[in-house]
Every structure is written in C-alpha cells, then in structure tokens.
Amino acid sequence: MQESKKLNQDKEKKHFSLTSLIFLSLIAGALTGIVFHYLVPAGYVRDTLFIDGIFYVLGQGFLRLMQMLVVPLVFSSLICGSAAVGDTATLGKIGLKTMVFYLATTALAITMAIVVGGVINPGTGLDTAHIKAEDISVSETVSIQETILNVIPKNPIASLADGDMLPIIIFAIFIGIILAKLGSNAGTVIDFFKQFNDIMMEMTDIVMKAAPVGVFCLIARTFAGIGFNAFFPLLKYMFAVLLALGIHCFIIYMILFKGFTSLSPVKFIRKFIPVMGFAFTTATSNATIPLSIETLERDMGISRKISSFTVPLGATINMDGTAIMQGVAVIFAAQAYGITLGLEQYLTVIATATLASIGTAGVPGVGLITLSMVFNSVGLPVEAIALIMGIDRIIDMTRTAVNITGDAVCTAIIAHQNGSLDRETFNEIKGE
Ligand code: ASP
C-alpha cells in the first residue's frame, strides 16, 4: 500500500517536472532562435547544421510522433467513449450542447474582435512602403452543401487514412453506439478497443517524454526564421489581434468556465498551460488532440467519455482564435484600403467567419486561406491578405493556443454538467 503510494507520488513528481521542462524548453527555444537570427552569422553551422539540420529533424520528428497518435487515439477513445455513454439520446444532447457552445463562442469572439479592431484602428496610418507583401494563392473554397455532405464518410477507411476528423468522428460514434447496444454479444470487440485505447494512451505518455527536446527544436527553428523587423509597420494590427485573443482566452472563457462549473479558472489555466504551450509551438490544433485529452483526464479528472468527442470535434470546427484574427483583419483591410463597412456587412462578416471557422482545418496557416472567403463576402480586396501574411506565423501560434483552450473549456463545462468531471482530481495541487 505504502509502496504503491510512493510510486504514484514519484510518478506525479516526474510528470510535473516534465510539465515544467516543456515550458522551460519553450522559452529557451524561443531565446535560442532569436540569438541565432540576430547574433550568429549566417553560414553552414547556423543554417545547415542547426536550423535545417538538428532543429528541423528533431522538431519535425517529434511533431510527426504526435501526429502519428491522433487518428488511432481519437478513433479508439471515441468508440470507447460513446460505447460508455451508451444511449443515443444522451449522446445527442452532448452533441447539441457542444455545437451550440462552439458556434456561440465563435460568434462572440469575432464580434469582440471587431470591437477591439474598431478601437485600435490597426489599418489607419499604415506605412505600406515597409511591408513586404507576400504572394497569395487563394485555393478554391468548398460549398456549404459539400461541407455538410463530406461529414458522412463514403469510405471510412479512406477517412482514417487521410485523417479527416469529422467523418472519423461520425463513424466511431456509430460503432460505439452499436457496441453499447450489443453489449456482451460484442464483448471481444469492446475489449479490443478498450485495450487498443490503453495502448494509445501509453504511447502518448512515451512520446511526451521527448516533448522538451521536440518543443525546443521546433520553437528555436521558428524564431530563427522570423524577421522581427517585419513586425514594425504592423505593430498595431498585431497588438489588436493579441489583445483580442487575450481578452477571449483569459476573460471570456474564464467567466464562462467559472460561471458554469464554479471551479477555479486559475487552476484550470495552471494545469492546461503546457497544452497551450504545445499548441503555440506547433500551430496545429490537430496534433494537440492527444495531449489535450490526456491532460484533461489526468490533471482535471475529465472523463474521456466526453473529451474523446468534444476535443477532436473542437479541433476541427471550433476556431475562436482564428475567427478573432479574421475579425481584426477585416477592420485592418477596410481601413488600409479606405473602405467603409456598414452594420449589414459586419453581420455578414460574423456569419461568414463563424462558418469559415468550421471549414478551417486544425493545421498551420489555414486561417489565412479561409480569410479570403470572409473578405469576399463583403467585397474587401483579397490582396490585403498579402500584407499580413509575412507576420502571420506568430499570430497563428497564438491563435492555435486559444483555439484549443476553447475546446477544453467547453469540454470541462459539458463534463461537469454530465457528472463526468472529478472535482477532487481537478482541485488537487500536485507539487512541482
Ligand atoms: N493553426 C490553426 C489551428 O490549428 C488554424 C489557423 O487558424 O490557421 O488551430
């Protein structure tokens, strides 16, 4: 008894030192990147050996390991989760609440972003001569009808192979519901997925051990490549986006969290910050899914029954951070090109950006592509996107952290209402 307690304490200690390590490597990596950019002379050692050699291989290697987990983990834990919930009525209720929360917070996010943009005026007095406009290629957008239809997988194996999250979610829930109905008649299959899910959780733990090195290399390479001089003419735009992201993440989400769960928002942030750091580093919501599900379960006592559904769904359709960037970008472009927008156009922007958020995949940079859809809806020149493209990486990183925080807040609220949040685990403060 005593021994197992000690073992658990050791495990916790190890886990928490890993959490702190990830955070430290994030800061150390960013500083290293800046030093490489400004102080180390260009040449073989800096560029070939470090930036495109060691940093690239170790960073991408780690990212790939995380991406490797996503589809099998989501698939197996969603099957187990929906089998555990069992009845379709409860699943439907959870699904509906999640969708309402996701859409409502996105609409709120973009409205607030438009207000912040209106106050800061990011596009007035712009010194376009010093902005390095990038080439933009606007890919074709898929119609709403097709987007809805694409949720149903024609070939589930192909969806799994392509990592198409929405069809995977539908197929896995289907299997889970049927397994719950068949009960012991499908005992072997239920056991198989449970055990497979355990294997994937164990794999996540193992892969995370490489996180400090992976995060360091990813962030060092990113910062080594960012030219900070490009930020100056766009400081007002950056400030407006970051301010709106901060308000949404630390004020609006936390009010909702506290209001619905009466749990401590400070504890939530403290426990969730490594996941935010990971999303920031990688700028991909998708790759963050396994870490988010694991952290919500282990540190906050949130059952996978809920998170296995809400987290991947959120990573695919709930992009409040992206919507915020798009709201500020609309104001920026309108001011930069001297176009006046009326109330009707703002409402169109809110509606289109909310829909665009559903269509934005959780991978780096897609928010800028769907931004063209938002600009087109109110006749803003798509060329304006070129102006902000050069500095988008850092904003992409920050908005991804906000995107996945929104999914986690929704997950906590739904889990709390469903009786699937263990308050004791949530309130537990583990030593660093
Ligand atoms: N990188 C974002 C995400 O993965 C999407 C975007 O806004 O480009 O959540």
One DSSP character per residue, 295-347 reads HHHHHH-B-HHHHHHHHHHHHHH--HHHHHHHHHHHHHHHHHTT----HHHHH
pLDDT tens digits for range 271-283: 999 999 999 999 9
Q: What is the mean pLDDT of residues 311-330?
A: 95
Region 233-260 average pLDDT? 96
For the Cβ of 400 lying below 6 angstroms from any atom of ligand 1, the answer is yes
Q: Which two tokens stand for residue 410?
A: 């929704």
Rounded to the nearest angstrom, the distance between the alpha carbon of 323 and the centre of ligand 1 is 10
Name the DSSP letter for residue 230.
G
What pLDDT was estimated at residue 40?
Answer: 87
- Using 50, 70 and 90 to split pLDDT, how confident is the model at 132? low
Q: Which residue has the higher pLDDT, 93 or 23?
A: 93
Q: Which residues pair with 421 in a beta bridge?
A: 302
Query: What per-residue string of b and e applies to 368-379 under the rule 16 or more CB within 10 Å gives b?
Result: bbbbbbbbebbe
pLDDT at 432 over 80: no
Look up residue 74 and give its two tokens: 């989501």
Atom number, ligand 1, closest to the C-alpha of residue 361 = 5
Global pTM? 0.89
Report CA-CA distances (Å) from 399 to 63, 243, 286, 307: 18, 11, 13, 21
Q: Does residue 295's CB lie within 6 angstroms of at least one atom of ligand 1?
A: no
Choose the residue to mutate in 241, 320, 325, 399 for probing ligand 1, maximizing ligand atoms within 8 Å of C-beta. Answer: 399
